[in-house]
């Protein structure tokens, strides 16, 4: 992906600090994260905190120049995605989100964010949170390398911000409360719409000449790598669609590609789609 390495985003909040033994998600991989989460529930203990090591552990080095460059790339991607949605939505609808870079854990209006959770969007404070160690896990553990794989992650989280601004997130939570048995299925449709919105942004980036050869394949590889079926397989569990919350690898790549090809949020209505 072509980008301005001197770019610095005013919408990035940098809370990074020295790591304690390395980012947990980088050591576990997302399949391991699933297992640790299940064990935490069964044992009624926060194993993420325990596995991260004692808070008094000797800190490692501060963020490296390579990580600072990655932080700048994230800021460029964030700004490009937000500029795109400002133009796509009716005037006055889009409010710019903030993106918080953190190390190991941080506070948010949605609770404590852990590196092991992976990137997430908090609708209560309209902020995206990411520990950059996630990208190493994406590359080395999940087999999804490349800068546009990293950009796809930002596009997906900004897609959740768009859902929040349009009221989709609020309507989904209400539907989940009323139809508890459909909770996971509704979550899948929410996540696939965010994938589609990431594709809509990628469509605009391609038109502006930012995409290079192989970029689309990198994004599709990332979408496939974090499909629920792929993660269940990595965790040694049988594939069970009833437990999915984000969608299968095929579904995630299908909806990203749909947004990429159409370039319009109107193509992303996963809630009315008879089949995903």
- Residue-by-residue pLDDT tens, the chain, 276 positions: 999 999 999 999 999 988 765 444 444 445 555 555 555 544 455 555 555 444 444 444 677 899 999 999 999 999 999 999 999 999 999 999 999 999 999 999 999 999 999 999 999 999 999 999 999 999 999 999 999 999 999 999 999 999 999 999 999 999 999 998 999 999 999 999 999 999 999 999 999 999 999 999 999 999 999 999 999 998 999 999 999 999 999 999 999 999 999 999 999 999 999 999
Rounded CA-CA distance 130/135 in Å is: 9
Q: What CA dihedral angle connects 111, 112, 115 and 118, to 10 degrees? A: 0
3-state DSSP assignment of residue 114: strand
CB 29 within 8 A of CB 99: no
Q: Please name the residue ranges forming H helices in the chain.
A: 24-43, 47-51, 65-88, 133-136, 147-166, 168-178, 183-207, 215-225, 228-234, 249-262
Strand pairing report for 98-102 and 127-130:
parallel
CB atoms within 10 A of CB 5: 8
Q: What is this structure's pTM?
A: 0.85
> Hey, what are 105's tokens?
């854990």
């Amino acid at each position: 992906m072509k980008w301005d390495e001197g770019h610095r985003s005013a919408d990035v909040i940098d809370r990074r600090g020295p790591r304690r033994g390395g980012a947990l998600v980088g050591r576990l991989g997302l399949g391991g994260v699933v297992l640790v989460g299940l064990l935490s529930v069964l044992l009624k203990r926060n194993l993420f905190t325990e596995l991260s090591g004692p808070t008094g552990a000797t800190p490692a080095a501060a963020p490296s120049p390579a990580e600072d460059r990655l932080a700048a790339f994230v800021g460029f991607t964030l700004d490009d995605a937000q500029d795109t949605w400002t133009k796509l939505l009716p005037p006055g609808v889009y409010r710019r989100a903030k993106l918080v870079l953190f190390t190991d854990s941080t506070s948010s209006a949605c609770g404590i964010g852990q590196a092991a959770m992976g990137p997430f969007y908090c609708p209560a404070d309209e902020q995206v949170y990411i520990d950059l160690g996630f990208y190493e896990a994406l590359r080395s553990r999940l087999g999804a390398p490349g800068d546009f794989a990293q950009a796809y992650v930002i596009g997906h989280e900004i897609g959740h911000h768009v859902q929040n601004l349009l009221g989709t997130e609020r309507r989904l939570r209400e539907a989940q409360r009323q139809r508890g048995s459909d909770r996971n299925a509704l979550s899948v449709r929410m996540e696939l719409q965010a994938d589609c919105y990431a594709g809509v942004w990628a469509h605009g980036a391609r038109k502006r000449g930012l995409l290079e050869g192989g970029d689309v394949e990198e994004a599709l590889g990332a979408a496939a790598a974090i499909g629920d079926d792929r993660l269940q397989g990595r965790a040694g569990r049988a594939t069970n669609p009833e437990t999915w919350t984000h969608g299968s690898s095929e579904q995630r790549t299908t909806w990203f590609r749909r947004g990429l090809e159409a370039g319009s949020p109107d193509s992303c209505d996963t809630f009315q789609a008879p089949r995903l």
